[in-house]
């Protein structure tokens, strides 16, 4: 997993909860590199799980909730860093299918060792059905990213989720439906 993911998590915790909690999260995670990450480095995704488990113990906030909040934060950072990807679409329903067919393809060109999930997308009437599959259990991260995408475009949507496969967060179906106003 790219270092940018780790530096963004640490920055989010520093900004939202303070430097002390961020330090305690890193110490509690008992990492071999003591929480020293560079944006272009590559690290074991297990370290992200260790950090979030430690943060959960520190704050009493459940892990899935923390990972979803991190997804929301990350989308804001992706928007700041790569505004052109967002400008190319007018809505959530245009943007989300491009994550698989275009955005993550470009990410892979920038970072050939990026570890990316796959998303199967199809429309069922007005509902966008997006199936997440990964070797890593980050369906909660995907959920936060999807939720924040809808907020970014100002689209009112309902996001229904069903865990699939081993139901361990490596596979999930998201059904994203506009809420009629
Ligand atoms: C401009 C928008 C986006 C950019 C630039 C981007 C880029 C990235 C990058 C750099 C990573 C880390 C890869 C690694 O650590 O090796 C990543 C991972 C990930 N991305 Fe995206 N992404 C974007 C939008 C999205 C959206 C909207 C979703 C959800 C629908 C999404 C889902 C994920 C997930 C779940 C991961 C974690 C890895 C995994 O689950 O296996 N991304 N993305």
Give the residue among 20, 97, 64 at the shortest CA–CA distance from 163: 64
- Where does the chain show beta strands of DSSP type E? 118-124, 127-133, 157-163, 171-178
3-state secondary structure 127-167: EEEEEEECCCCCHHHHHHHHHHHHHHHCCCEEEEEEECCCC
Which residues have any ligand 1 atom within 6 Å of their CB? 1-2, 4-5, 78, 82, 85, 96, 99, 103-104, 107, 114-117, 134, 136, 138, 141-142, 145-146, 149
Under-70 pLDDT residues of the chain: 181
Give me the pLDDT at residue 25, please.
98
pLDDT at 84: 97
| Residue listed under structure tokens 């995907």 | 142
Q: Which structure tokens are listed for 155?
A: 């689209």
- For position 39, what pLDDT does the model report? 83
């Amino acid at each position: 997993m790219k270092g940018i993911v780790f530096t963004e998590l640490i920055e989010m915790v520093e900004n939202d909860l303070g430097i002390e909690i961020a330090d305690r999260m890193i110490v509690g995670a008992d990492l071999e590199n003591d929480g020293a990450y560079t944006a272009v480095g590559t690290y074991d995704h297990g370290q992200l799980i260790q950090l979030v488990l430690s943060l959960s113990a520190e704050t009493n906030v459940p892990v899935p909730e923390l990972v979803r909040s991190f997804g929301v934060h990350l989308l804001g950072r992706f928007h700041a860093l790569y505004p052109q990807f967002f400008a190319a679409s007018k809505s959530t329903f245009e943007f989300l299918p491009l994550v698989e067919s275009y955005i993550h393809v470009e990410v892979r060109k920038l970072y050939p060792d990026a570890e990316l999930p796959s998303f199967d997308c199809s429309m069922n009437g007005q509902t966008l059905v997006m199936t997440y599959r990964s070797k890593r259990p980050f369906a909660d991260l995907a959920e936060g990213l999807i939720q924040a995408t809808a907020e970014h475009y100002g689209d009112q949507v309902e996001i229904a989720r069903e865990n699939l496969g081993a139901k361990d967060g490596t596979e999930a179906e998201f059904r994203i439906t506009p809420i009629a106003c």
